[in-house]
Amino acid sequence: MSLSVVLGFGPAGAATARLLAGQGHSVRVITRSGRPPEPGIEHVALDAADSERLTGAVRGADAIYSCAAPPYPRWTRDWPPLASSVCAAAEATGAVLVMLGNLYGYGPVDGPLTEDLPLAATDRKGRVRAAVWEQARSLHEQGRIRAVELRSSDFFGPGVTDGGHLAGRVMPRLLRGKPVSTLGDPDAPHSWTYLSDVARALAEAAEEERAWGRAWHVPTAPPQSVREMAGRLADRAGTGPVAVRGLPPAVLGIAAVFSPLLRELKEIRYQFDRPFVVDSSAWEAAFTVRATPVDEQVGATVDWWRERTADAR
């Protein structure tokens, strides 16, 4: 039985760990705080930025799935040591490094996002995410590690609770038929990557040597605006139509004074002020994972949130 090590147990890490366990892998999850064990999954508490301890925890693994991320306001400080530690563990153990990335490194782009675009971001978050991949890619090209990056747009689906776009600050209100607010233009086309598709693509990439050495986009359904997605979700929940309002820049500026998260989001507002469209055709031409149909995504998401809100009462 092969050993897979998953770093982080946020939505993507948890989905990936549980998928791998369901496929019969022995799974070890590494987080700062640890958790009680669950079927097929061992939880280990350690700081993944501690290279020596991380290497010890990874020994014997076939693959490392890097799904951990520092808190948003600490990206600039915390990403470099974390990325270096993960690369060092991959080099010391020979495990394939499967990295979950995002689209920040491209910066503002006119037209669909493709993997052959330069990593030309000028904001802090985009630069740090680009540097994380460039470090791993360079080591791969030197023959020191085997690495691949899967880039995702905004997560969507069961298990996604953080964020205000189609998650924690939207779904509870939408299920009650209440108006929802969103960052940027609610009518701008936007790509949403379904969480289970992230996990399935990561697992496939680890097994496909021809995927290694480059970045790919996770299979993602055609873009829909926040207003369109909110309408679909409300229709499925039977609470529609709901009003969808863009958060005015002045309101965002005032709120950012009190919210570190909103202060950070101002840097990447361009992703919601204009079309933000992912082209995942390169992956789809080469591998088997496909984006889950949108109606299935919507139905599963509404059902999961209904159960979650019912349990909270």
* Domains recognised in the chain with CATH numbers: 3-155+192-217 (3.40.50.720), 157-190+222-276+293-312 (3.90.25)
User: Residue 266 pLDDT > 90, yes or no?
Assistant: no
Average pLDDT over residues 230-252: 87
User: Residue 190 pLDDT > 80, yes or no?
Assistant: yes
User: Residue 267 pLDDT > 80, yes or no?
Assistant: no
- How much is the pTM? 0.94
pLDDT at 268: 81
Contact in structure between 213 and 70 (CB atoms under 8 Å): no
Average pLDDT over residues 200-223: 98
Kindly compute the dihedral angle of the four CA atoms of residues 35, 41, 44, 45, in this order, to the nearest 10 degrees.
-30
User: Residue 73 pLDDT > 90, yes or no?
Assistant: no
User: Residue 248 pLDDT > 80, yes or no?
Assistant: no
Contact in structure between 269 and 183 (CB atoms under 8 Å): yes
pLDDT at 164: 58
User: Residue 37 pLDDT > 80, yes or no?
Assistant: yes
Strand residue runs (E) in the chain = 3-7, 26-31, 41-45, 63-66, 96-102, 147-152, 154-156, 180-183, 192-194, 215-217, 244-247
Extract the tokens encoding 234: 């409300």
DSSP characters over 247-290: E-HHHHHHHHHH-HHHHHHGGGTHHHHS-B-B--HHHHHHSS--
pLDDT at 93: 98
Instruction: For residue 6, give the 3-state DSSP assignment.
Output: strand
Better-scored residue on pLDDT, 249 or 299: 299
